[in-house]
A and B are shown apart, each in its own frame.
Chain A
Amino acid sequence: MSTRQMELEVMRYDPEQDKAPYFQKYSVPCEDDWAILDAINYVKENIDTTLAYRWSCHMMVCGSCGMMVNGEPSLTCKTFIRDLPDRVRIEPLENFPIERDLVVVLDDVMEKLRMAKPFIIRKDDPPPEDREYTQSRANLYKFKQYTMCINCMCCYAACPQYALDKSFIGPAVLALAHRYNIDSRDQGKSERLNILADHDGVWECSFVGACSEVCPKSVDPAAAVQQMKIDGAKEWWKQKLGGGKS
């Protein structure tokens, strides 16, 4: 198998030592079938063991290797060097504080994830012991794509609204909430909307759609957010006309 010499410009930053992030260049002999993550692993194993980054599965499941590759939020295990020029710039995901090198701090999104209540809410909780909550195939198809999210946070790095205003709840969390809102087994829609259709929720999205474009799992968070806006508007009228929270 042939190899190609590639130049990686990797952003380095140790908040305890460095005043500002800087770029370090590594020349890496890449195999044709490598993903950019393989090239980063090569650097770590053979050139510079101090490089910090996250990865785990190398098969588009864990969602930990999201980084900016030539300015584009990408899952590095899914971004192949055959599709890239000889010089590649790798940076930590945009819009997040840097913990070190390519590792970002995800606390903000993790906190927001809690707000979305991403689990089935039932009024008859605990569930009856003698039966299951059934799920129709048609209903499953409605929300299945939203279950594919692996929380890689590429959508947050692409989102211009999150870049402007960190209080915006953001694409992945809203898409996940929508997944439960449209699940026929769930009864927590209005509970979630009271949180997610509040001031910093769905309304902050101006439907640029960058989140859906960069999603490595082909989830469409932009559509979820727009559908949630419709639900939020309906719920607003319901609460106003119904004289309180439903």
Chain B
Amino acid sequence: MKREDYTLRGWLMSLVVVVGVICLGLIPPFEVFGLRTERVDILSALRPAEVAIDDAIAEMEVIDSEVARANLDSMLLATPKPEPAKVEERDEELKWSVENGSKRGADGERGRKLHSSEIEITKSNIVAIEDFDTLPNGKFHNFIEKLALGEGVRIAVMGDSFVEGDIVTSDLRDILQRSYGGRGVGFVSCDIPFTTVRTTVKRDAKGWTSYSIMKHKSVPETLRDKFFASGYISEGGAGATVTWRTVDKFATLDSCTHADILLVARDSSIVELTIINEHDTLKREMNIAKSDRLRQIEIDMPMKSLKLKVVSGKILCYGASLEGNGGGVIVDNFSVRSNNGHAIYNMNKSICNDADNIFGYDLVVLQYGLNIMQPGQRHFTKYKEQLATMIDYAKAYFPNAAIMVLGVSDRWIKDEEQGTYVPIGSVDAMTEYQRAAAEECGVAFWNTSEAMAALGGMPAFVANGWAASDYTHINFAGGKRIAQALANALHNEVYNLLYEQELSEESAKQMRVQREREIAERNTQILEQREAIINNIISIDTTSIEQPDAIAEGIAEDIQEGNGEGNEISEDVANIASEDISEDTASEVVIETAENEVVVENESHKNSDTLIDSDSIA
């Protein structure tokens, strides 16, 4: 007797399982025993990848802030000053630019001073940036001034998964580049040891061994101290390739004209670069001598994609920066998943300093703290110390950049009893401690949760689809709102700066006009009086009447000397002049009789339009 065979039934079972599992994706999330289920999707690999976000516990060893501070002190002692321009000099052979190509800083990007009326600003609901720098003309002020003057600025945003995948920063970059010029996505890591997607650039890396600064312990010892602010390093031997491709998600990102690749040659290596632009494909090989220092491959030509291939040797690659030809704004996104900020302790100062010499950061934004908060926690004294230490690390790594701390974002948690979401209750306290740290270190601070509150807070974000239903993580849509608010705050600073300058220019101008008018009136009066006196008292003496210039000269001399010399009238004029001087303390009035010119010098304006023809006096 033949045994009954169940093979077909087994296959039918598998088929039903596949169909069933696919259909599982149609089940919306529901709650069972108070646990919320997720929608499952076995076909997710076929869909365009979405950005995964997390708020996991940091996996790296937590360094005590005191230890970190001691490390920083010894680090600063060991390398007291970064040596600027050294990288540039040495890397002359690693430059590649096409002839007749546009030179850096020479394309049509904005390079002129703006007028306050050009700033598109929403005046309501501004959450202003608080700058705690007590020095006049501090770094943050300089950063804003550079923005206003249309000079190139570079911003590094160091954060956790909150900004991963270019959330917030992509829209911030877009707004700032549209307002102040600039092009390109900025820095993009070579390879990241897990799946993540940036919608603002395409990256395809093969053959690299990549490490995260968050898994510091599992990084080989020789590479442990090689991290840059990007938080990810990739080591590759012959055959390792990485391609960065521009995407046209935003108008300023579809192509770039300048690129820098940051790497360390662990061995004497040969790399091959391939550039694709609209017209053709260009290839070039470069030899890089073995060296422990950061090297820069600099490429100046229009490109849509840039490929690096290790032909031989061993390369430690950080990533590439895709930019325009100088000018405008570059925003680098340095998000490191699960980073509470501690990762900054494990970065390499000389690598950061070298990169800073190449990139020239003007502003470093620190966005951390979301993973720290416990429900209802009101005191973050220890965290404040840590944050202050992190700020000082950032200062050491990027000595010329202003620092801005972003306050923690709004977060709600589920009330298990009621099943509804309630505020976590520690956002305001955390914000206060973060602000206090910023104040202590004399850096800028921006209150993210206040900006979110102005938009309705986390419930409104979830309701509008701007945040995940965990009431913690915002998505791209939410990031856009926060970027708008932050850009608005920056616009506001630029606007205020320009407006103040314009106002002082304007008032100086008005004052000058007023003064000129007054002086002219007085002069006329004096002349009339003098005429009358001459007419009345000395009867008719034609010579003195026919030479009014000589009289004016006499008055001017009187003013200059500042005394009346017994002449009532000229004393009067001198009084008027000295009154003018004391009224306008900011301005210094110098009247030069020799050239017949009056120069009004304002401290902040030395422009030629302040020259006044002395004819008006006469």
Partners in one complex: no
Interface of B toward A, CB cutoff 8 Å? none
Interface of A toward B, CB cutoff 8 Å? none
